[in-house]
A and B are shown apart, each in its own frame.
Chain A
Amino acid sequence: MLERDDKVSPIRLTAVQYIIVGIFLVLTYGLWRLQVMNSDIYASLAEKNRVRNVPILAPRGKLLDREGRTIVDNYPSFSALLLRDQSRDLNADADLIARGLNLKADEVRERIKKFSWLPQYQPIFLKEDITPDELAFVEAHRNELPELDTIMSHRRLYPKSGFMAHLIGYVGEVTEDMLNQPQFEFYNPGDVVGISGIEKQYNQLLMGKNGSRRSVVTSRGKEVQRLDETPAVPGKQLKLTVDIDLQIAAEQAMEDKNGAIVAMDPHTGEILAMVSRPTYDPNDFAVRISRDEWNRLVTDPEHPLLNKAIQAQLAPGSTFKIIMATAGLQEGVAQDLRVNCPGGATFYGRYFKCWITSLHRVHGAVDITKGIYQSCDVFFYTLAERLGIGRIAQYATAFGLGQRTGIDLPQEVSGVMPSEQWKIKNFKQKWFAGETISVGIGQGAVAVTPIQLARAIGGIASGGVLRRPHVAFPSDVPANVMPVSNVPEEVRIPIDPKNWEIITDAMAQVTTAAGTAGSAHLEGIDFAGKTGSAQTISNTAKAKLAHGKEDYKDNAWFVGVVPRRNPEMVVAVLFEGGEHGQFAARLAAQVVRAYVEKRRRQPTKVAKRGGPTEVEMGGVWSLPVEESAGGQTVHAGHFFVDLSTHRLSLATVAPGVE
Chain B
Amino acid sequence: MSRYVSFRDFDWPLLGFVLLICAIGVTEIYSATLHTKFAGAHLKQVYWIIGGVIGMFLISLINYQAMLEQVHWMYIASVASLVSVLVFGQKYLGARRWIKMPGFHFQPSEWVKLILILAMARYFAEMRHKDLSWSDFIKAGMVVGIPMLMVLAQPDMGTALTYLPIAVMGLFLGGLRLKQALAVVMLAGMMLPIGLKVLKPYQKERLTSFMNPEADKQGSGYQVIQSQIAVGSGGIWGKGTAKGSQTHLAYLPVPQTDFIFAAFSEEHGFVGALAVLLLYFIVLMRLTQNAQTAPDRAGAFIVMGVVAVLSFHILVNIGMVVGFMPVTGIPLPLMSYGGSSVLFMFLALGIVMNIRMRRFVN
Contact = CB atoms under 8 A, between A and B. Distances in A.
Interface stretch (B11-19, B105-113, B153-161, B317-325): B317-325
A407 to B, nearest CB: 49
Given A9-B175, A16-B169, A34-B323, 4 more contacts: A26-B319, A31-B273, A42-B233, A46-B229
9 contacts: A2-B297, A16-B169, A16-B307, A24-B281, A27-B314, A27-B315, A43-B232, A119-B218, A120-B218
In this complex, which of B229, B285, B292 has the most chain A Cβ atoms within 10 angstroms of its Cβ?
B229
Contacts, number: 158
Given A2-B128, A16-B304, A35-B265, A23 B315 contact: yes
B241 interface: no
Given A2-B128, A4-B296, A8-B291, A34 B245 contact: no
Interface in B276-306: 277, 280-281, 284-285, 288, 291-292, 295-298, 300-301, 304
A119 to B, nearest CB: 3
A34 B277 contact: no
A528 to B, nearest CB: 71
A49 B245 CA distance: 9
Given A34-B322, A35-B265, A43 B297 contact: no
Contacts of B169: 16
A13 B304 contact: yes
Interface stretch (A214-222, A342-350, A351-359): A214-222
Interface residues of B, number: 59
A120 B217 CA distance: 11
- From DSSP, what is the main secondary structure of chain A's interface residues? helix
Contacts of B324: 26-27, 30
Contact of A30 (B251, B285, B323): B323
B184 to A, nearest CB: 16
A49 B246 contact: yes
Contacts of A216: 245, 249
Interface string A1-13: 1101111111011
A50 B319 contact: no
B147 interface: no
Given A7-B300, A10-B292, A43-B232, A31 B274 contact: yes
B235 interface: yes
B319 A30 contact: yes
A39 B291 contact: no
B311 interface: yes
Contacts of A38: 232
A13 B233 contact: no
Contacts of A49: 226, 229, 245-246, 249, 251
Contacts of A217: 249
A30 B262 CA distance: 12
A39 B232 contact: yes
Interface in B109-168: 125-130
B50 interface: no
Interface residues of A, number: 48
A541 interface: no
A224 B249 contact: yes
Nearest to A37: B232
B228 A42 contact: yes
Given A12-B172, A27-B315, A20 B270 contact: no
A121 interface: yes
A21 B288 CA distance: 12
Given A23-B315, A42-B233, A28 B172 contact: no
B142 to A, nearest CB: 22
B304 A20 contact: no
Contacts of A2: 127-130, 297
- The 4 residue pairs across chains A and B that have the minimum distance between CB atoms: A42-B232, A119-B218, A30-B322, A46-B233
A45 interface: yes
Given A16-B288, A224-B249, A35 B235 contact: yes
Contacts of A35: 231-232, 234-236, 265, 269-270, 273
Interface in A338-379: none
A119 B217 CA distance: 9
A28 B291 contact: no
Nearest to A48: B229
Given A34-B322, A218-B249, A41 B232 contact: yes
A33 B322 contact: yes
B270 A32 contact: yes
B345 to A, nearest CB: 17
B316 to A, nearest CB: 10
A42 B235 CA distance: 9
Interface of A: 1-2, 4-10, 12-13, 15-17, 19-21, 23-24, 26-28, 30-36, 38-39, 41-43, 45-47, 49-50, 119-121, 216-220, 224
Residue from B218, B304, B322 with most neighbouring chain A CB atoms (10 Å): B322
B173 interface: yes
Contacts of A121: 218
Given A2-B129, A27-B277, A13 B323 contact: no
Contacts of B292: 7, 10, 13
A121 B231 CA distance: 22
Nearest to A39: B235
A216 B246 CA distance: 11
A8 B233 contact: no
Nearest to A17: B288
A16 B250 contact: no
Given A9-B173, A49-B249, A27 B319 contact: yes
B250 A218 contact: yes
Contact of A24 (B236, B277, B301): B277
B251 A4 contact: no
Nearest to A24: B281
B314 A23 contact: yes
A47 B251 CA distance: 11
B40 interface: no
Contacts of B236: 35-36, 39
Nearest to A1: B128
B125 A42 contact: no
Contacts of B291: 8, 13
A49 B217 CA distance: 13
A507 B159 CA distance: 99
Contacts of A36: 235-236, 270
Nearest to B245: A50
Contacts of A13: 173, 288, 291-292, 300, 304
Nearest to B218: A119
B49 interface: no
B29 interface: no
B297 A7 contact: yes
Interface string B66-85: 00000000000000000000
Nearest to A35: B270
B230 interface: yes
B51 interface: no
A30 B318 contact: yes
Given A13-B292, A27-B277, A30-B323, A50 B173 contact: no
